[in-house]
Amino acid sequence: MIDKTLKQLSQALAAGEISSVELARLYLDRIARLDPRINAYITVDPEKTLAQARAADARRAEGQAGPLTGIPLAQKDIFCAEGWPTTCGSRMLGNFVSPYDAAVIERCNAAGAVILGKTNMDEFAMGSSNETSHFGPVRNPWDTGRVPGGSSGGSAAAVAAGLAPAATGTDTGGSIRQPAAMCNLTGLKPTYGVVSRYGMIAYASSLDQGGPLARSAEDCALLLNVMAGFDARDSTSLDRPAEDYARDLEKPLAGLRIGLPREFFGDGCDAGVMRCVEDALAEYRKLGAETVEVGLPNMKLAVPAYYVIAPAEASSNLSRYDGVRYGYRAPAYADLNDMYARTRAQGFGDEVKRRILIGTYVLSHGYYDAYYLQAQRIRRLIAEDFAAAFEQCDVIMGPTSPSTAFRLGEKASDPVQMYLSDIYTIAVNLAGLPGMAVPAGFADGLPVGLQLIGGYFSEARLLNAAHRYQQATDWHLRRPAGLD
């Protein structure tokens, strides 16, 4: 059962080959046995999980089952779930138990899915390696001495290690796609506004977007069908007709125009990664697609623009964590101001403090125009570059990450090198576009991900392109050794 897709698991449940309770126990047993080596989960509550599984079995017995009814899912610990600790990987929220469900959790619950647990993540989603978590780093199942990518590294590692069949993640600058690439998974960041951010703890509100992490494009489509939808409680949620993201999976790729940005194929990418990307593009040509060269001239400014905009929004969003209302409070202090200072100094980790300081600086009087407004102008130019490129092509492809998974601690002392891990993904978030990472081979025994970028609301097209590639290759079927 561990190697089955979501669709296959749904069929097995429907055929009575296994019950939801039995399936949940299977995964809970694996988590208990294997997760100490991976650290993919922050919270596991078998009692809650099995109660949901029993409810799913009852629902199926009444003939009310949907495609995900009874399917166990891992939920990133950035999504509030009623009665579950929701920590966001931080000491600041280490004792917070959510009194309500995030929209994504609501929609998964309504579909009959079962929560296996809350997955580890970079603190407040700030990081590219899952090393900033207060609960310790997550280890990549392909090599436990290496990072799984971040910030959704716990979700990615859980699926890669067979500790969940699929998981939710969030992507602010590549935090679904980069860990998917490093863990040999398929990950999708939807168009901004397609998935509600209600109950998703905010990092950078204009960039954050929830999405699925799974083994295949088909599984991502099934999960996105559940996650997506308008939510009046989220002012950035888009009121659009519901769509079936799996509708075009089998569509032939003949005539598909693939854009290859000059900026993606220059210096800065490992030779092994680029070789896998080139091989993937050759496979697409065999499938009937054609490639054209396009330009994204302002992409070189994406990283600096992002690290002005995202910290600015983070400094505002994280100002609510003051020790007064909920979360951590310093045990000893002299007065109110001292309580604020001690609480935030003790409750936040180094990377979060660094970004709060940067964000406060760029929003301060005298620097707002010089930094924040300029970054927003660059953001608009990047979006215009993509719009011009999509006049010449249907899908843009290239590397997801400039390297395979790096060793734990390798970049921890060099924030700039860590930030550059997202050099190929950040522009997609700045423009609000959908993007995917798809397994595309191995370099030195470590997974490589191909990135697919589409125009607004082109998720079905991206999933189609990814699915047809996966039908022609078997990279997404490879599993890490030693986790039986």
**Residues of the chain with pLDDT > 70: what percent?**
100
DSSP, collapsed to helix, strand or coil, labels residue 169 as strand
Q: Kindly give the residue spans of alpha helices, DSSP state H, lying in 62-137.
A: 103-110
98 is catalytic: no
Write a three-state SS string for 307-328.
Answer: HHHHHHHHHHHHHHCCCCCCCC
Domain residue ranges of the chain, discontinuous segments joined by +: 6-242+251-256+435-445+456-477
Tokens of 139: 């280890």
235 is catalytic: no
Q: What is the pLDDT of residue 484?
A: 84
90 is catalytic: no
Per-residue pLDDT of the chain (484 residues; tens, 9 = 90+): 999 999 999 999 999 999 999 999 999 999 999 999 999 999 999 999 999 999 999 999 999 999 999 999 999 999 999 999 999 999 999 999 999 999 999 999 999 999 999 999 999 999 999 999 999 999 999 999 999 999 999 999 999 999 999 999 999 999 999 999 999 999 999 999 999 999 999 999 999 999 999 999 999 999 999 999 999 999 999 999 999 999 999 999 999 999 999 999 988 899 999 999 999 999 999 999 999 999 999 999 999 999 999 999 999 999 999 999 889 999 999 999 999 999 999 999 999 999 999 999 999 988 999 999 999 999 999 999 999 999 999 999 999 999 999 999 999 888 888 998 999 999 999 999 999 999 999 999 999 999 999 999 999 999 999 999 999 999 999 999 999 8
Q: How many CB atoms lie within 10 A of CB 10?
A: 19
Distance of CA 60 to the CA centre of its chain: 30
| Active-site option among 48, 76, 189, 411 | 76
| Active-site option among 128, 133, 151, 196 | 151
Q: Does residue 454 contact residue 461 with C-beta atoms inside 8 Å? A: yes
Q: Which residues share a beta bridge with 293?
A: 260
Q: What is the pLDDT of residue 452?
A: 98
Q: Does residue 209 contact residue 200 with C-beta atoms inside 8 Å? A: no
User: Letter for the amino acid at 251?
Assistant: K
Q: What is the pLDDT of residue 413?
A: 86
**What's domain 6-242+251-256+435-445+456-477's superfamily in CATH?**
Amidase signature (AS) domain (3.90.1300.10)
Closest CA to 459 of 247, 235, 251, 147: 247
Q: Does residue 120 contact residue 35 with C-beta atoms inside 8 Å? A: no
Distance of CA 426 to the CA centre of its chain: 13
Residues near 85 by beta carbon (within 8 Å), at least 6 away in sequence: 42, 43, 77, 94, 95, 96, 97, 98, 118
Residues near 61 by beta carbon (within 8 Å), at least 6 away in sequence: none
CA atoms of 23 and 113, how far apart (whole Å) = 12
Q: What is the pLDDT of residue 123?
A: 98
| Active-site option among 175, 315, 401, 458 | 175
Residues near 241 by beta carbon (within 8 Å), at least 6 away in sequence: none
Q: Does residue 276 contact residue 443 with C-beta atoms inside 8 Å? A: yes
CA atoms of 77 and 200, how far apart (whole Å) = 9
